[in-house]
Each structure stands twice: as structure tokens, then as C-alpha cells.
Amino acid sequence: LDPVSVIGRKRDGGELSTPQIDAVVAGFTAGTVAPEQMSALAMAILWRGMTRREIADWTAAMIASGTRMDLSGLCRDGRALATVDKHSTGGVGDKITLPLTPLIASYGLAVPQLSGRGLGHTGGTLDKLEAIPGWSAEVSPDALREQLERVGAVICAASADLAPADRKLYALRDVTGTVASIPMIAASIMSKKIAEGTGALVLDVKVGSGAFMTEYDDAHELAATMTELGADAGVATSALLTDMSSPLGRSAGNALEVTEALEVLAGGGPADVVELTLALARAMLAAVGRDDVDPAEHLTGGQGMDTWRAMIAAQGGDPAAPLPQAAHREVIVARDSGYLSGLDALAVGHAAWELGAGRSVPGAAVSAGAGVTWHAGIGDAVQAGAPLLTLHADDPARFAAARARLADAVTVSTNRPAVAASRVLGR
Ligand code: URA
């Protein structure tokens, strides 16, 4: 393989053949295609795009760079267990995986939720759960099967051998301005989800300022591309498009979001988090032929919470332990009276990151207690001088940078804004 000719072909708008894609992805994984060559190819793909066939080949090559897990044959009490998973393209305050995974498992299904850590302004599910004393993200393949059969719910770190080409390529895209490519995002997400071995998958594709896709049409194209990739690989895949122009729920931060997830599992919690949890739960249940049940019943009935406790305990966590809190708080009050008509998701995500909830380099430590809580949702009345946001940090020196990020994040209007009835924008 001559990587330069492959780069040149894509640069000039040509279509790459299956052998070219296989060779370039395998070569990059093995180290014979240099990072600067892969960066150039990623930029050419970002500008020129890929055909559906190229995207499918690119996805298959990334799956083939590692091990494809086999979750077939799972059973409990002699009955086969269906597997179903959810993936969100990432948003600010998006803690839905936490209540959703045990909720679905409480219906006798297996949910293999292989997750990542956060980088930049969106939080990582594993970082959130690591706020729970004792909890470990590391689960071996044998322990994963055992926990799926016994508890049904597992949220854990993906093994290094799951689509390693994607891991390497994503790190490169992150530092070369080449993340925002629909073909590469679709292939990146779906290679990991197909390699994970789930039988069915529901995608939560976010749209708005806090998401990769700020425009609905782009998010729709991403959803359609991923749904087709899933179907081609034998994974029953469906997608919801959901609003991420304002952050989800009332908090962004690790322990803060676990607290909110526990409220939902206890039958309460913010209305938008409950709505999205139930919308995704219904789609997951429908994907495995269980549309006979109403998932709201296992939130109010406590079965989701029971499965949460079993899931946390199975990974060494103490579900009854108090969660860590940040040492310092600072309150931001409303400047004007009126109605909250805007709270910018990206700004809130950046503020939480400045406070210590996220990381800027892979592997860095995060603060369990740090983050942002907001005391009003879109459309709520606010009073000048009343608390609007609370900042939480272990180090008070972080407050200034977070305040700066939030300077233009809040819009208060004199008239009550039209509030969308639902976060679900489309399917
Ligand atoms: N999430 C991923 O896993 N990959 C991308 O490319 C973007 C978001």
C-alpha cells in the first residue's frame, strides 16, 4: 500500500476501494501508516465525504482491528437473554445511561453498556460512576458475561481490544480538527457498538449547541447512516433525535449527576431526564419485542433501583455510601426578573470542565464533586437577585474561569418563551 496515493485519491474527490480502506486502517493500527498520513487522510475525508459503501468498509476495517465480542447464548433460569444497548452521541448533563441501564435490565434483558471517559466539555459515564466509593469500571470478559446473566446490567470500560483502530484514530482526530465528519463519527460509534456484540441498539443523536451536530439535518443524516450500518451488521438499530441546546436535567458534574440519576430511579427527578429515560426505554424494549410493558412502572415501583444497587455492588461499589461533595460552592444570582429563555449547553459544559469535572488530556484525574447546578429550567420564572446557578469546586481558584464561561450563557426574557413539550425532536 502506498498511503500517499490513497490520500491523494480522497483529496481529489475519488472513491476508495475496499482493499485500500482495509490496508490503510490495518496499517495505521500496526504503525506502518504514520499518524501524519492518517491525519491528512482524515482531513481529506472530512472535506470530500465518503459513500455509504466506503463508510461500511471503514467501519468493518475498524471492527477487524480488534476482537468482536460474542454475547450470544446468555441465559438466566434456562431462558435466553436478549441483549440491547443505548448510545448517546454526547451532551451536557446527559446522565440517562445511569437510570436507563438498570431500568431495562429490570425487565429481564441484558444491557452491555461499554462506555468511555469524558474528554472536553461532555462528561463520561465512567467518570460519573467512579464518584461512587469502591466502584470499578474494569470488568473482564468472563465477569461481564456473569454479571449480564445474574444482574442484567453492566456499565464498564471497553477493553483495549475493542476497535483499537478507532481509539487511535479518535485521539488523532481530536487534535487535528477532524472530529466533525459524519462518515467518521458514524463509523467510530458503530464500530464499537457492533464489536461489543449487542443484538439491538438505540441511538440518542443529540442536536444543538452542546452536541457535535448543531443542525437538525446533519443529526438526521448521522442517525440514518448509523442505523444503516447497524442493520447491515445484523444489529437491530433505531435512533431518536433529541434536543441539546440547553443542558439536560439540573446538573452537570460527576457525583451531581449520579444524585440526579438516583432521583429518577426513586420515581422523581427532573421532568426532561424522566421523559428522555422513558422514551429511550420504550425504544429499547420495542427493539426486543417487549412493547407490552410501560417502563414508568419500574421507576415508581422500585425495580429499576433494585437493579441499580445490584449493578453497583457487582462492581465493588457501595450503593448506600454518601457521594463526595466539592469543598467549595459559589452562587450566581439572576440579574433580571422574568423567564429563563436560554441556558447555553456548551457554556455550561465548559464551566463544569473549568470547575474540575472533566479533563483536557486523556488519563487526567477528575473531581468527583465538581460541577454546575441550575435552579431553573427553560420557561421557569426567575427573580432578580435569586440564586440561578451554583458552582461546585474543590479549588476555589477555579470559580473565576467558570464564571467567565457562563457570562453570556443565560437569557432571561420578560415574556414566557414557548417551551417545547418534548426533548424528542424526531426519529
Ligand atoms: N463519539 C465517538 O465515539 N466517536 C466520534 O467520532 C464522535 C463521538
- Residue-wise pLDDT tens for the chain (427 aa)? 899 999 999 999 999 999 999 999 999 999 999 999 999 999 999 999 999 999 999 999 999 999 999 999 999 999 999 999 999 998 899 999 999 999 999 999 999 999 877 766 667 899 999 999 999 999 999 999 999 999 999 999 998 999 999 999 998 998 899 989 999 999 999 999 999 999 999 999 999 988 889 999 999 999 999 999 999 999 999 999 999 999 999 999 999 999 999 999 999 999 999 999 999 999 999 999 999 999 999 999 999 999 999 999 999 999 999 999 999 999 999 999 999 999 999 999 999 999 999 987 777 889 999 999 999 999 999 999 999 999 999 999 999 999 999 999 999 999 999 988 899 999 9
Radius of gyration of the chain (CA): 22
Say how far apart CA 357 and CA 351 lie, in whole Å. Answer: 9
Q: What is the pLDDT of residue 220?
A: 98
Using CA atoms, how far residue 194 sits from 54, 67, 143, 154, 305, in Å, is 17, 11, 20, 17, 28
* Residue of 10, 65, 86, 87 with catalytic role: 87
Candidate of 114, 203, 212 to mutate for ligand 1, largest count of ligand atoms within 8 Å of Cβ: 212
Give yes or no for residue 226 CB within 6 A of ligand 1: no
Say how far apart CA 346 and CA 294 lie, in whole Å. Answer: 33
Q: What is the pLDDT of residue 175?
A: 84
Q: What is the pLDDT of residue 163?
A: 96
Residue 128 annotated to the active site: no
Element (H, E) at 126: helix 125-129
Taking the CB of residue 319, how many other CB atoms lie within 10 A of it? 16
Domains parsed from the chain with CATH numbers: 3-49 (1.20.970.10), 75-314 (3.40.1030.10), 328-413 (3.90.1170.30)
Say how far apart CA 183 and CA 188 lie, in whole Å. Answer: 8
Q: What is the pLDDT of residue 363?
A: 79
Say how far apart CA 422 and CA 276 lie, in whole Å. Answer: 9
Residue 87 annotated to the active site: yes
Using CA atoms, how far residue 273 sits from 162, 246, 279, in Å, is 30, 12, 10
Say how far apart CA 159 and CA 157 lie, in whole Å. Answer: 6
Q: What is the pLDDT of residue 16?
A: 98
Task: Return the closest-CA partner of residue 371 out of 136, 135, 123.
Answer: 123
Supply φ then ψ for residue 206, to 5 degrees.
-85, 145
- Cα-to-centroid distance, 133 and ligand 1 (Å): 29
- Cα-to-centroid distance, 185 and ligand 1 (Å): 5
Residue 166 annotated to the active site: yes
- Cα-to-centroid distance, 115 and ligand 1 (Å): 12
Cβ 59 vs Cβ 95: under 8 Å: no
Atom of ligand 1 nearest to the CA of 116: 3
Give yes or no for residue 339 CB within 6 A of ligand 1: no
Burial of 393 (0-12, 13-18, 19+ CB in 10 A): buried
Candidate of 59, 168, 184, 188 to mutate for ligand 1, largest count of ligand atoms within 8 Å of Cβ: 188
Whose Cα sits closest to atom 2 in ligand 1? 189
Cβ 318 vs Cβ 138: under 8 Å: no
Burial of 348 (0-12, 13-18, 19+ CB in 10 A): buried
Say how far apart CA 265 and CA 260 lie, in whole Å. Answer: 9
Q: What is the pLDDT of residue 174?
A: 83
Q: What was the ipTM of the complex prediction?
A: 0.96
Residue 405 annotated to the active site: no
Task: Return the closest-CA partner of residue 250 out of 237, 242, 259.
Answer: 259
* Residue of 173, 392, 398, 423 with catalytic role: 173
Question: Does the predicted model carry a pTM greater than 0.90?
Answer: yes
Candidate of 46, 62, 189 to mutate for ligand 1, largest count of ligand atoms within 8 Å of Cβ: 189
